[in-house]
Amino acid sequence: GFNCGIVGLPNVGKSTLFNALTKAGIGAENFPFCTIEPNAGVVPMPDPRLNKLAEIVKPERVIPTSMEFVDIAGLVAGASKGEGLGNQFLGNIRQTDAIAHVVRCFDDSNVIHVANQVDPAADIEVINTELALADLDTVEKAIKRVQRVAKSGDKTAKAQQEIFEKLLPVLNEGKPVRSMDLSDDERATIRELCLLTVKPTMYIANVNEDGFENNPYLDKVKAIAAEENAVVVPICNKMEAEIAELEDDEKAIFLEEMGMEEPGLDRVIRAGYGLLDLQTYFTAGVKEVRAWTVRVGATAPQAAGVIHTDFERGFIRAEVVGYDDYIACNGEAGAKDAGKWRLEGKDYIVKDGDVIHFRFNV
Ligand code: GDP
């Protein structure tokens, strides 16, 4: 699966968000094959298509796809120098696929701010500086390493050195590498460094109930995000925590009263999905209708591998019906009659919403 690390200064609302996300989460019993860390929560991906499929197939169970969120508390100024539990936190961030950076965009005299004033730009800078410094260290070490090889006339090492050196001025300024305009080749070359500041990032602007509009703090976060290829999700974490406590029917009433179509958490989860270029395909059997996550561009065998590695290795073919066709034809049999049921081979590129039945050898 894919995961997203929640970072941010102390007292900005990270735990509140994390608790809301995990309350909305699905029980670990649905994930017998993954070990979930105590500070991690598996959150279902809201997808109305799943219910539509279930109405047709009437399976024993319906399982959404999900994303794991990891609470990485305690990132403070000085972390990159190993202060506090700095290295451990940076190491935790390194293991995540994407970063959700919570920024305080609300005034509340009852909630102490670590720097004594609410200033999203300054807060973002503290965190981004630590991440950039950690990357700077990584890049400087990598340059030393490839330099030695480059000296002996190795062209690849020379090219690597040049690309790594391009990162230095940006990181020295405390800017993230993801803000750079890099070619695909350059990106591929720096991938091995596992840098923190290349990770796709969303800023979670934590606002008060009435802070979604005319909020200068929020505007500031949007301006910063625009400069560095990041997305912004405005959300009121406190309200989300309250929504997460409600029963389903109460939830619907509350959302309607607030003029909301869905909990803000759903936007966070979707943003994480979008950040990582992920899409969903479905399997639809009488035992189980289930959504699965794959990268955009994944082939049929790669998609099969998400279910089980044996499925990828032994892949023979995929029987595919597009989601719209599946619904319009009222299921697989109808889709077959209408000529909408396709046999696809190992080069097939899976599309969002495909309903797939894999055939494989074991
Ligand atoms: P963390 O240190 O970043 O994990 O922050 P917490 O989630 O523990 O939140 C710190 C304090 O801010 C708590 O008292 C929360 O109740 C409060 N808080 C969180 N989100 C909001 C919000 O949207 N509005 C207001 N007014 N308070 C909030």
Q: In this predicted model, what pLDDT tens digit does every residue of 137-152 receive, in sequence order?
A: 999 999 999 999 999 8
Ligand 1 within 6 A of CB of 11: yes
Query: Which ligand 1 atom sits nearest the alpha carbon of residue 209?
Result: 23
Predicted confidence (pLDDT) at residue 16 exceeds the cutoff of 90: no
Q: Tell me what pLDDT residue 44 has.
A: 87
Gap from CA of 163 to ligand 1 centroid (Å): 41
Hey, which of 14-18, 70-74, 156-160 has the most confident mean pLDDT?
A: 156-160
Q: How confident is the model at residue 24 (pLDDT cuts 50, 70, 90)?
A: low
Q: In this predicted model, what pLDDT tens digit does every residue of 189-220 receive, in sequence order?
A: 999 999 999 999 999 999 999 999 999 999 99
Q: Is 15 annotated as a binding residue?
A: yes
Q: Is 14 annotated as a binding residue?
A: yes
Tell me which residue has its CA closest to atom 9 in ligand 1.
Answer: 13
Q: Which of 7, 11, 218 to mutate to test the pocket of ligand 1 (most atoms within 8 A of CB)?
A: 11
Q: How confident is the model at residue 328 (pLDDT cuts 50, 70, 90)?
A: very high
Angle between helices 14-23 and 264-275 (to 10 degrees): 90
Gap from CA of 131 to ligand 1 centroid (Å): 23
Ligand 1 within 6 A of CB of 206: yes
Q: How confident is the model at residue 228 (pLDDT cuts 50, 70, 90)?
A: confident
Gap from CA of 15 to ligand 1 centroid (Å): 8
Ligand 1 within 6 A of CB of 236: yes
**CA distance readout (Å), 174 to 124, 127, 129:** 11, 10, 5
Q: Do domains 3-45+66-119+200-275 and 126-191 have the same CATH topology?
A: no
Q: In this predicted model, what pLDDT tens digit does every residue of 43-87 receive, in sequence order?
A: 888 899 999 999 999 999 999 998 888 888 666 666 666 665 566
Query: 48 with 40: CB under 8 angstroms?
Result: no
Which alpha helices (H) appear in the chain, and where do they start and end? 14-23, 48-57, 86-94, 120-151, 155-172, 184-191, 216-227, 237-245, 248-258, 264-275, 300-307, 309-313, 323-328, 332-337
Predicted confidence (pLDDT) at residue 37 exceeds the cutoff of 70: no
Average pLDDT, rounded, for the chain: 89
State the fold for domain 126-191.
DNA polymerase; domain 1 (1.10.150)
**CA distance readout (Å), 86 to 79, 102, 173, 198, 224:** 4, 18, 20, 19, 25
* Beta-strand pair 201-206/98-104: parallel
If one counts every other C-beta atom within 10 angstroms of the C-beta of residue 199, the result is 21
Q: What is the rounded distance in angstroms from the CA atom of residue 326 to the CA atom of residue 57? A: 11
Q: What is the rounded distance in angstroms from the CA atom of residue 265 to the CA atom of residue 277? A: 19
Ligand 1 within 6 A of CB of 101: no
From first CA to last CA, the distance across the chain in angstroms is: 23
Return the domain boundaries, the chain: 3-45+66-119+200-275, 126-191, 297-360
The structure's pTM equals 0.86
Task: Give the distance, in angstroms, between the CA of residue 343 and the centroid of all CA atoms in the same chain.
Answer: 32
Mean pLDDT of 335-345: 96
CATH class of 297-360: alpha beta
Q: Which of 9, 210, 237, 242 to mutate to test the pocket of ligand 1 (most atoms within 8 A of CB)?
A: 237
Ligand 1 within 6 A of CB of 18: no
Ligand 1 within 6 A of CB of 217: no
Q: Tell me what pLDDT residue 260 has.
A: 87
State the fold for domain 3-45+66-119+200-275.
Rossmann fold (3.40.50)
Hey, which of 6-15, 16-25, 172-181 has the most confident mean pLDDT?
A: 172-181
Q: Which residue from 211, 207, 216, 186 is spatially nearest to 198, judged by alpha carbons? A: 186
The phi and psi torsions of 206 (rounded to 5 degrees) equal -85, 105
Q: What is the rounded distance in angstroms from the CA atom of residue 84 to the CA atom of residue 354? A: 47
Q: Is 13 annotated as a binding residue?
A: yes
